[in-house]
Amino acid sequence: MTNQPPTSKTTASRRPQSPIKVIRSGAIAASIWRRQTSTGFEYLDFSLSRSWKLKNGEREGYSQNFFDSNADALADVIRQARDFIAGHSAAVADQQTTPPRGGPRVTPPSSESVDRA
């Protein structure tokens, strides 16, 4: 028996992912990621970061901590990330309702057509 944690096929087959888009405003960035649930549902989400560099230039890096002076840049990249994800979601929804060539158009049922008696 070993002391190593069990590995699943999902964990073992994962490759490092790159964001599909990075939105920047000064030192603040929103990285947009394509994710997938264990059931196969795909979605996009975003993470926020702040780049930093020491004045002497010896070290630089990224942080998930922010200052009050970052508020405007944070609001800007969050809005842009939200708009990008909403546009992507709308495009995916259009693709799912677009009929294949020569086939009938499939429209998802609306909540108005459900009889709630």
- Is the C-alpha dihedral spanning 88, 94, 99, 104 positive or negative? positive
- Could you tell me the two tokens for 6? 């069990």
pLDDT at 86: 95
| Mean pLDDT per 10-residue interval, the chain, length 117 residues | 49 72 98 95 96 93 97 98 92 67 52 46
Question: Residue 80 phi/psi, 5° resolution?
Answer: -65, -40
Distance CA 29, CA 32 (A): 10
Burial 19-44 (b: 16+ CB within 10 A, else e): eebebebebbbbbbeeeeeeeeeeeb
pLDDT at 92: 75
Domain map (residue ranges) of the chain: 17-97
Predicted TM-score (pTM) of this structure: 0.66
